[in-house]
């Protein structure tokens, strides 16, 4: 059994790497004063909630496809139930959110891809992508995993996880979003 010190050392030694095939990452998209994100059910559209309104992003392309500048979140976001109302092109949809008020996204895809949050130098956190079926935190797991989000500037991670389709995932931090997709 590996001790906690060994695991912390292995995690701290991981270097940033681009995501492995079949994954592609899109440019970091800055979002000022972001509150939460949520995937539209059974799609790769992501609703982003911020102090300045709502935006919808197509995670397959990384493009923003909708914008609403209504900052009155009490009109479109239930922070108790963590449900927000969509805007075109996903208008009239209720979308579960995750962010400052809680919630969560899927950490595992059906084909064993999974995301892990690590923090060997807390409060600095990173996100690791892996498809390894080896024992979690084993030497083999570290060898077969990719540190895709090296949070070296102290930006707090609000949310991370896969869409319902397993074709995209998001890493949302206090300053913006990073989108990943595959065909």
pLDDT, residue 151, reads 60
Structure tokens, 150: 């090296």
Is 23 within the bounds of a domain? yes
Written as tens digits, the pLDDT of the chain (183 aa) is 467 787 777 877 888 888 999 999 998 999 988 999 999 999 999 999 999 999 999 999 999 999 999 878 889 999 999 999 999 999 999 999 999 999 999 999 999 999 999 887 777 788 899 988 777 777 777 888 888 886 656 678 999 999 999 999 999 998 899 999 998
| Residue 72 belongs to a domain | yes
Residue 25 belongs to what domain range?
4-178
Residue 10 is predicted with a pLDDT of: 80
Between CA 36 and CA 101 the distance in angstroms is 8
pLDDT at 1: 47
| Cα–Cα distance, 124 to 152 (Å, whole number) | 6
- Is 164 a member of any domain? yes
What's the rounded Cα separation, in Å, for the pair 3 and 6? 5
Q: What is the pLDDT of residue 101?
A: 94
Count CB neighbours of 182 within 10 A: 16
**114 inside domain:** yes
Strand 124-130 to 83-85 pairing: unpaired
pLDDT at position 2: 63
pLDDT at residue 152, rounded to an integer? 58
Q: Is the dihedral of CA 82, 160, 49, 45 positive or negative?
A: negative
The total domain count for the chain is: 1
Domain presence at residue 144: yes
Nearest to 129 by CA among 178, 173, 57, 92: 178
Residue 183 lies in a domain: no
Burial class (CB in 10 A: 0-12, 13-18, 19+), 133: exposed
Q: What is the full DSSP assignment across 33-48?
A: TEEEEEEPTTSSEEEE
């Amino acid at each position: 059994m590996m001790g906690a010190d060994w695991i912390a050392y292995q995690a701290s030694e991981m270097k940033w790497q681009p995501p492995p095939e079949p994954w592609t990452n899109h440019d970091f998209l800055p979002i000022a004063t972001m509150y939460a994100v949520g995937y539209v059910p059974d799609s790769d559209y992501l609703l982003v909630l911020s102090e300045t309104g709502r935006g919808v992003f197509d995670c397959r392309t990384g493009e923003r496809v909708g914008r609403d500048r209504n900052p009155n979140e009490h009109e479109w976001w239930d922070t108790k139930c963590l449900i927000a109302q969509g805007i075109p092109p996903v208008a009239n949809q209720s979308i579960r959110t995750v962010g400052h008020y809680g919630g969560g996204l899927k950490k595992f895809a059906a084909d064993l891809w999974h995301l892990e949050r690590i923090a060997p130098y807390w409060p600095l956190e990173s996100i690791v992508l892996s498809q390894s079926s080896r024992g979690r935190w084993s030497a083999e797991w570290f060898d077969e995993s990719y540190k895709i989000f090296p949070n070296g500037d102290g930006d707090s991670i609000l949310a991370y996880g896969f869409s319902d389709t397993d074709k995209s995932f998001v890493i949302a931090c206090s300053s913006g979003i990073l989108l990943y997709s595959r065909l």
